[in-house]
A and B are shown apart, each in its own frame.
Chain A
């Protein structure tokens, strides 16, 4: 499959103006998979902004997708505030222990200094290097974890969700200090010439109720979104798992694009909020991208496009969440190639009928 005739920046600009493009934007969300492109171990990324940047730039050049997202795991801000993170040799990091054990300790937490604490300086270095290398042709974003999710890493998820019902004020206190970290980090990301990209995994209705999201998730996301908008950048908001019951509220945060997990349906999202936000999604990262064949990837991409290519505010064909580290390169290629094959304008339903008759 030949490469594209537009750069990602040109493509997004034209797509946003409703002009002709060569194909829909496509984003297999490559995080630690980038280590595989440069032959590095995942744990080598720790504290090494140059390596993260080299890997992300190499992965972008290898696949030609539309957004680079500087991301290794969701814990960076919580770690910078004291949470303990375990780094296995060659796999994605995971939370070893929360920063605090009790409500009384919340007052001891301080917002992270993005230029000093944890791995935040390395991530900022990765962002500025990536922007310097390819920022004129491709959108470079920096992963920013939402305040509610960071709060869950600071005190432990089970403790946090119990506190929502037993001591809501304590939860707000945790979310507020997490928000202060997020705002400081967002400002630093913007200073690097990069756009913050929001993920608030724990806000999923797989975990909490829509009412709880309204109280503990939405207000903090709204303040972050307002801040990013004040710097003239658009906001993409990703929440994992089930989200159908909070799509309206996700829109109310002011987000411009909702990134939808494969646990939700793009056609339903289009019907419910497609007039208000761009949609991004939602090929299954595990079942299809990791474990499927290139042909299954192609079919899944076509299914996403069939459901939502005509979304009034636009569609970015994407994986439903970050790709697993060992996602085969041929499947990432297959995702891009499936979008290239359909091209522009999208006439997918007719094509599928032809395929059926043949």
Chain B
């Protein structure tokens, strides 16, 4: 076991990068046993590791399989550390994103990667899943008091369903309440502009940069 806090944070980060779910769990329990601040362990350990994994993904050393296993390790640690967060850390208002794959499509790996990377960057994410009707995005964004609606698709047939979400926001006079962003194989910046989206990203790391920009957080 690592000797001091710094080493433990590093080991947690390494467990995430190393896709070692058991090790992440073991080290998180150790952090709890040593009464190390859970928020700091998450930030400097798990989140740091997921950030490094994201960099390896961007440089094409890691691909989707590796990133998913890194996230499994991160979530294994989060499950243990989150219940130990101080009340003010657990309840702090964070920038909130409602995300999902639009109706008519069940390809959700890309959306899942965006959710993982957003959560690892400290955003609150409500993941509606896949094949989601337009109205549900709107209803959830309202009921959750979200900041951003993020839509994904891999199928050209469902691109119109993205425009439908904007229309529904407009007819309910809610367009100004939420930022609206898009991603997915057939989507282009031109399409995003045409349906008056607030942003478009072509990869999970870029989606995080986009949301940070919208939230006014330095990248």
Contact = CB atoms under 8 A, between A and B. Distances in A.
Interface string A298-337: 0000000000000000000000000011100000000000
A158 interface: yes
B68 A161 contact: yes
A244 to B, nearest CB: 10
Interface in B81-138: 104-107, 109, 112, 131
Interface string B37-76: 0000000000000000000000010111110110010000
Nearest to B63: A209
Given A209-B63, A287-B191, A324-B156, A157 B109 contact: yes
A207 B186 contact: no
Nearest to B103: A88
B155 interface: yes
Nearest to B188: A287
A94 interface: yes
Contacts of B68: 158, 161-162
Contact of B64 (A208, A245, A284): A208
Interface string A219-246: 0000000000000000000000100010
A97 to B, nearest CB: 9
A113 interface: no
B60 A164 contact: no
B157 A205 contact: no
Given A165-B69, A286-B186, A287-B191, A88 B156 contact: no
Given A165-B19, A241-B185, A95 B65 contact: no
Interface string A83-115: 000101001101110000000000000000000
- How many chain B residues sit at the interface, stated as a range, is 20 to 34
Contact of A94 (B65, B104, B186, B191): B104
Contact of B65 (A164, A284, A286, A291): A164
A164 B69 CA distance: 11
Contacts of A92: 155, 157
A51 to B, nearest CB: 19
Interface in A126-158: 157-158
B157 A165 contact: no
Contacts of A207: 63-64, 109
A94 to B, nearest CB: 5
B65 A324 contact: no
Contacts of A165: 19, 65-66, 69
Nearest to A205: B63
A88 B66 CA distance: 34
B219 interface: no
Interface in B130-165: 131, 155-159
Given A92-B157, A162-B68, A212 B63 contact: yes
A40 interface: no
A274 interface: no
B190 A162 contact: no
Given A165-B19, A241-B185, A208 B65 contact: yes
Interface of A: 86, 88, 91-92, 94-96, 157-158, 161-162, 164-166, 205-209, 212, 241, 245, 284-287, 290-291, 324-326
